[in-house]
A and B are shown apart, each in its own frame.
Chain A
Amino acid sequence: MAQAIRNWEMDQKSESNDPNTPKQKQKFSSSFRVLSVYMLEHKKTFIAFIICTLIAISGELLQPYLLKLAIDDHLMIGNTEYRSLLLIGCMYFGLSVTSLVFSFFQHNLLQKAGQSIIASIRKRLFEHISKLSMSYFDRVPSGSLITHVSSDTEAVNQFFHQVVLSIVRDGFTLIFILVMMFQLDVTLTLYSLILLPIIAAIAIAFRTYMRKTYQLARTRLSRLVAFTAENLSGMPLIQVFYQQREQSRQFNEKNESYFRANLREIRTNVIFNRTFEVLNNLAIACVVWFGGRAVLGDTLAFGVLYAFITYIRLFFQPINTITQQWNTLQAANVAIQRIWGILSIEPEVQDAKQPTKLPTPIRGEIEFRDVTFAYVDNEPVIKNLNLNIQSGQMIGVVGTTGAGKSSLISLLCRFYDIQQGNITIDGISIKELPQHDLHRTVGLVQQEPYLYTGSVLDNVRLFEPSISRETVIEACRFIGADLIIERMPEGYDTRLSEKGSGLSAGERQLISFARILVFQPRILILDEATANLDSQTEQLINRALDYVSKGRTTIVIAHRLSTIIGADRIIVMRKGEIVEQGTHQELIQINGIYKEMIDYTQGKGQPIVSY
């Protein structure tokens, strides 16, 4: 048990490592200030909601009062006039209908306002994140971004759904009951009020403890689920390594610890609810004692006592509901802080105040001048790099992992800003260009092409409506993808998605080549685009590559040297610097790193490192 709690505490700690979690506990007031801006936009709906709530509550809470009237004015004194009893019945009916109608409107109005607010927060957050720089996406795992967009906004939704509703409805109910009770009998009400702080104290004390048990159970459940999910994916491995027994043991441990946490949670719940009920009964007994004495002394009518007992019973419900909101409120508070934390992040890469347009036609000449760049201060990954690429040239970049190849292209795309030096396209610094133009000028094909949920057609044109179907089909024909696409069940309208598209790596790559043809960037970067293909598809891809790179300035980052043998120039990088450059032939003659790499591919080399 102690071990599990320690784990849980560690979980809590590691959660705060999330860069978007506010470091200190934030005050609720700032969260409400933020939300109130949105709530003001729906002022009318909220006011209507409050009015509906008031009417609905009155309709409901006046009902015991009517019963009191019936008892005191008719039955108790033996008033045989039946008509006024019928009248009370009609009023009662009227009240219930009012309550029915207005509580319906009350919920709908609140949801309408709340849902609109959540929708606009979600859109704003998503738009903001989409516009942040790549460096942000490197730092923050996409899983946590998804959590912010879906779960955190959902927590804010719960705030409207539950907290606002409960505060308004239950708050007013409490006040209303108190007013009615004072109206009925002041002394008895004052006695009852002694109960209020006791109830609240018990409720709050229990809630804190309940939250802990609840979170403990949640943490253990998510661990159990994560473990099971992973084991299901890795089941063949478990079987092949014959590890069923060990995995079973680990599973049982997790299952049992969840079971225990669960028991603790329900025990707490049951005890809390029952304590509350006992209190409620105690209150009723007190009312009977005090009220009974008053009735005996003829200072209180029996109908009043009757109504009082009903109200005392109603009294507990709203207090219970309101104290339940504390957890939701806290969760919403944290979520709001996180969301607004993200919204306050400025993109690191910004457009110049007065951006320059590239002169058309774009030639596609690239120059790196004395470029130095570091992700982390004082650890440069690119050092004082100079490189000039003429319009229409094809450049191959090789080097081992960590040599700085990928950083080089990230800089050209301006995913990051460089610390020193300058990068220009056609003589204009890329910092002067609008990012939109830069990104449309420099095209990138990655090692693992990404597919969106949508038709083949939309995947090629990336949902851009200004690109016609004909353009897409033509592009696919040029690179030899149309035969493959037409074989698909619905041709160009076949639905694809990242998971389970049924496309091979090569077919995916063809689609990303078609994207290039459709968007027509003047400069093309291929980032190890052919690393994952089997040899057969590779031929098709190489042909497409030849076609796509024609007339474009092309930079190829290669894992396998065969793709860049024919390049106009090959650049060999090591530790952020260019150490060799020249054509294939020239580099072979230098007999340096490049030659060594070629030898290894052909299996002639011996391992450099031995132990």
Chain B
Amino acid sequence: MDSPKILSQFFKKTWIAYVISVTLHAIANIIQVQFPRVLGDFTDALQLGQLTWDGVLQSGWELLAIGISFTVLGGIAQYLVMYTGRYFEYMNRSRLYQQFLQLSERFYASNGVGKLLSYFMNDVTAVRESISMGVNQTAGASMLLISTIVMLLLSNVPLYLVIACIIPLLFIPVIVVWIGPKIKRRSLKVQEALSAMTASAEEQFAGIRVTKKFAVESIMIERFGATVDEIRKRQLRLVRISSLFQATIPFLGALSLIVAMVYGGYLTVQGTITLGTFVALTLYVRMLMNPLQQLGNVINVVQRARASLERLNDLMRQKREIVELEDAKPLDPNDAAIELRNLSFSYEAAHNGELDKQGRLALNNLSLTIPQGTTLGIIGRTGSGKTTLMKLLLRLYDAPVNCIRYGRHDIRSIKLSSLRESIGYVPQDGFLFSTTIRDNIAFSDRSMDDKKVYEAAQHARIYDNIMDFPEQFDTKLGERGVTLSGGQRQRTSLARGMIKDAPILILDDSVSAVDAITETEILSNIAKLRSGRTTIIIANRVSALKHADHIIVLEQGSIIQQGKHEQLLSEDGLYRRLYELQEEGTRA
């Protein structure tokens, strides 16, 4: 484990701030412990009858000066540490985001967004808290503790009295470390119950049609009620321990004071210490309560943060999977015929770097040439490898060497930027970002001319829908904006892919949620616009690709049929079966 990685980078930049802060803390606390001494001296002078008005005035000024300088110096120290803490968040969130941009599809497939966000939010914050709190409170508390003990000894309080008074206080950090995690656990349980309730409400409101249609509202209300009762139960469990904790700390402080009062009082009566020392002692005891509690907190926070730090370091260590060769060349748009040579691929094996060991083959020995300027149709059932093939062509995963070639070059020796700029891609799910419709369509180059955006929207047959929105192309999508229907999303995503006007266009089942008439229109638009350039259409439906120059039928990663539409129809095979299923009855 080399956890210090993130930290060392950070401290390298900020150590000066910490040195200044700790120094200021030290000075502030040395000043602060003068407070009881001044009052003690005041008391002694008073008891001895030596107190004059000037003395009173001076004591007041001294107290004020102590107070203000402690406040100001401590404040600056505190702010410095908090500032660097926030800087830590800022810096590491940026680094995390850069890392997120590098990580590959495989990483995202095995790590949910929720988990990654938790790195981004909770773990970064946990480490920041432990750094800020750790430095501020440890510096503050330990300085205060040391200076207090030194002051007590200097002011002639016998060591055994100091120890007797401090013993009960020493239990404070012990209790904090002991009970603190318990409280944390129970409060996590409360949080879990709360999110269970939220989830239950979410489920109920999302499925309200079903609930209403089957008239089972009362049952759902009961189910929700159970989650609410669970929250109450757990809240009460939490408060039992947290209130005990809250009450115990001042109690321990009071015990210390009792010792100071009874034992110290006895020594005062005996004349071993002066009244002034006694007064100072009780004030010191009060002063120590807070820092000792804080020290306990620091231990807890640091412990929690250690796990977070490890997770963050692990994440930052993740190597990126797709690496550009140093002598990579740009893709030549005039030499972009695609060639597959005995392409086999398995997700597991590619990860381990070795092919044809274990692992189910997602693609099995595919050979195919797509001449520049032609249209290829790919059809097959769910799981037959259609999308896998697309991901390899886009180099979201690395195919084995020499299996995919663009023109004269292997895919691995092409610059990533040039490869991806040369391919227009329309994914299956029509994912859109929460920004304006315009920026979504012009995603590949947001400084693009508006006219091109309108044109693309027209080609994808989404223009009229957009013009119906109150703010037209400036309409915002997402949470606070408009929600598009499945078909509208797909068509917007289609416009986004087509606007690139790229040498190669890939449509991954991109019109499945569009009605038959619109589908036909879109397909004929594509055919018109893409003449002379390479287009790959993946579809579940025969109707979407029957005009392709060449069609391949995939089944379990292999090409089982290929040819033109009519030719495939004349063969007895999956293609014809799918066609008949889909067109069944419509040919009356």
With the chains together, A534 CA to B582 CA distance in Å? 9
Interface-facing stretch out of B7-15, B61-69, B173-181? B61-69
Taking a contact as CB atoms closer than 8 A, the residue among B53, B83, B214 that contacts A515 in the complex is: B214
Quick check: is B211 within 8 A (CB to CB) of the other chain? Answer: yes
Taking a contact as CB atoms closer than 8 A, the residue among A80, A302, A535, A601 that contacts B540 in the complex is: A535
Interface-facing stretch out of B138-146, B341-349, B405-413, B414-422? B414-422
Q: Is the interface of A mostly helix, strand, loop or mixed?
A: helix
With the chains together, A512 CA to B443 CA distance in Å? 39
Taking a contact as CB atoms closer than 8 A, the residue among B198, B433, B582 that contacts A562 in the complex is: B582
**Chain B 224-265 interface residues, beta-carbon cutoff 8 Å to A:** 224-225, 228-229, 231-232, 235-236, 239-240, 242-244, 246-248, 250-251, 254-255, 257-258, 261-262, 265
**Chain B 372-429 interface residues, beta-carbon cutoff 8 Å to A:** 381-382, 394, 396, 416-417, 420-421, 423, 425, 427
Quick check: is B436 within 8 A (CB to CB) of the other chain? Answer: no
Name the CB-closest residue of B to A235: B108
Known: A71-B275, A75-B275. A100 touches B201 (CB 8 A): no
Known: A108-B240, A122-B228. A130 touches B217 (CB 8 A): yes
Quick check: is B546 within 8 A (CB to CB) of the other chain? Answer: yes
Q: A249 to nearest B CB, angstroms?
A: 10
With the chains together, A583 CA to B318 CA distance in Å? 63
B71 and A234 contact, CB distance less than 8 A: no
A462 and B210 contact, CB distance less than 8 A: yes
B86 and A266 contact, CB distance less than 8 A: yes
Name the CB-closest residue of B to A413: B213
Known: A74-B269, A75-B278, A96-B251. A605 touches B101 (CB 8 A): no
Quick check: is A585 within 8 A (CB to CB) of the other chain? Answer: yes
With the chains together, A137 CA to B194 CA distance in Å? 23
Contacts of B203 in A (CB 8 A): 452-453, 498
Name the CB-closest residue of B to A237: B431
Contacts of B228 in A (CB 8 A): 119, 122-123, 126
Contacts of A449 in B (CB 8 A): 210
With the chains together, A228 CA to B120 CA distance in Å? 9
Q: Mark A31-72, 1 if CB is under 8 A from B, else 0.
A: 000000000000000000000000000001001001100110
With the chains together, A444 CA to B239 CA distance in Å? 46
Contacts of B199 in A (CB 8 A): 453
Taking a contact as CB atoms closer than 8 A, the residue among B208, B225, B262 that contacts A89 in the complex is: B262
B71 and A281 contact, CB distance less than 8 A: yes
A237 and B427 contact, CB distance less than 8 A: yes
A450 and B269 contact, CB distance less than 8 A: no
A123 and B224 contact, CB distance less than 8 A: yes
Quick check: is B583 within 8 A (CB to CB) of the other chain? Answer: yes
A519 and B434 contact, CB distance less than 8 A: no
Interface-facing stretch out of B90-98, B306-314, B363-371? B90-98
Q: Mark A79-102, 1 if CB is under 8 A from B, else 0.
A: 110100110110011011101110
A452 and B201 contact, CB distance less than 8 A: no
B257 and A63 contact, CB distance less than 8 A: yes
With the chains together, A282 CA to B381 CA distance in Å? 80
Name the CB-closest residue of B to A265: B86
Name the CB-closest residue of B to A125: B201
Contacts of B266 in A (CB 8 A): 82, 85
Contacts of B64 in A (CB 8 A): 281-282, 284-285
A240 and B396 contact, CB distance less than 8 A: yes
Quick check: is B1 within 8 A (CB to CB) of the other chain? Answer: no
With the chains together, A131 CA to B74 CA distance in Å? 57
B113 and A400 contact, CB distance less than 8 A: no
With the chains together, A313 CA to B205 CA distance in Å? 52
Name the CB-closest residue of A to B322: A239
Contacts of B434 in A (CB 8 A): 226, 230
Quick check: is A470 within 8 A (CB to CB) of the other chain? Answer: no
Taking a contact as CB atoms closer than 8 A, the residue among B46, B60, B120, B421 that contacts A285 in the complex is: B60
Interface-facing stretch out of B18-26, B156-164, B514-522? B514-522
Quick check: is A231 within 8 A (CB to CB) of the other chain? Answer: yes
With the chains together, A245 CA to B290 CA distance in Å? 48
A274 and B588 contact, CB distance less than 8 A: no
Which has the most chain A C-beta neighbours within 10 Å: B113, B117, B394, B479? Answer: B113
Known: A85-B262, A232-B117, A565-B585. A278 touches B68 (CB 8 A): yes
Quick check: is A354 within 8 A (CB to CB) of the other chain? Answer: no
Name the CB-closest residue of B to A143: B479
A262 and B262 contact, CB distance less than 8 A: no
Q: A353 to nearest B CB, angstroms?
A: 20
Contacts of A443 in B (CB 8 A): 213-214
Contacts of B425 in A (CB 8 A): 240-241
B236 and A76 contact, CB distance less than 8 A: no
B205 and A89 contact, CB distance less than 8 A: no
With the chains together, A565 CA to B219 CA distance in Å? 39
Known: A70-B265, A75-B278, A534-B381. A436 touches B420 (CB 8 A): no
Name the CB-closest residue of A to B587: A602
B63 and A92 contact, CB distance less than 8 A: no
Quick check: is A306 within 8 A (CB to CB) of the other chain? Answer: yes
Quick check: is A112 within 8 A (CB to CB) of the other chain? Answer: yes
Contacts of B57 in A (CB 8 A): 289, 292
Quick check: is A236 within 8 A (CB to CB) of the other chain? Answer: yes
Taking a contact as CB atoms closer than 8 A, the residue among A146, A258, A266, A559 that contacts B201 in the complex is: A146
Contacts of B68 in A (CB 8 A): 278, 281
Name the CB-closest residue of A to B260: A67
Q: B509 to nearest A CB, angstroms?
A: 10
Contacts of A539 in B (CB 8 A): 581
B588 and A296 contact, CB distance less than 8 A: no
A89-B258, A233-B113 are known; give 4 further A-B pairs, CB within 8 A: A75-B265, A232-B100, A247-B101, A288-B60
By Cβ-Cβ distance, the 5 closest A-B pairs, closest first, are A281-B67, A292-B56, A107-B243, A96-B254, A89-B262
Please list 12 pairs of residues, one from A and one from B, whose beta carbons are closer than 8 Å in the complex, sorted by A's number.
A80-B269, A82-B266, A92-B261, A96-B250, A104-B243, A104-B247, A146-B198, A241-B444, A281-B68, A285-B67, A440-B215, A515-B214
| Chain B interfacial positions (CB closer than 8 Å to A) | 39, 42-43, 46-47, 51-53, 55-57, 59-61, 63-64, 66-68, 71-72, 74-75, 78-79, 82-83, 86-87, 89-90, 93-94, 97-98, 100-101, 103, 105, 108, 113, 116-117, 120-121, 194, 197-217, 219-221, 223-225, 228-229, 231-232, 235-236, 239-240, 242-244, 246-248, 250-251, 254-255, 257-258, 261-262, 265-266, 268-269, 275, 278-279, 282, 286, 381-382, 394, 396, 416-417, 420-421, 423, 425, 427, 431, 433-434, 443-444, 446, 458, 478-480, 487, 512, 515-517, 520-521, 524, 540, 543, 546, 578, 581-588
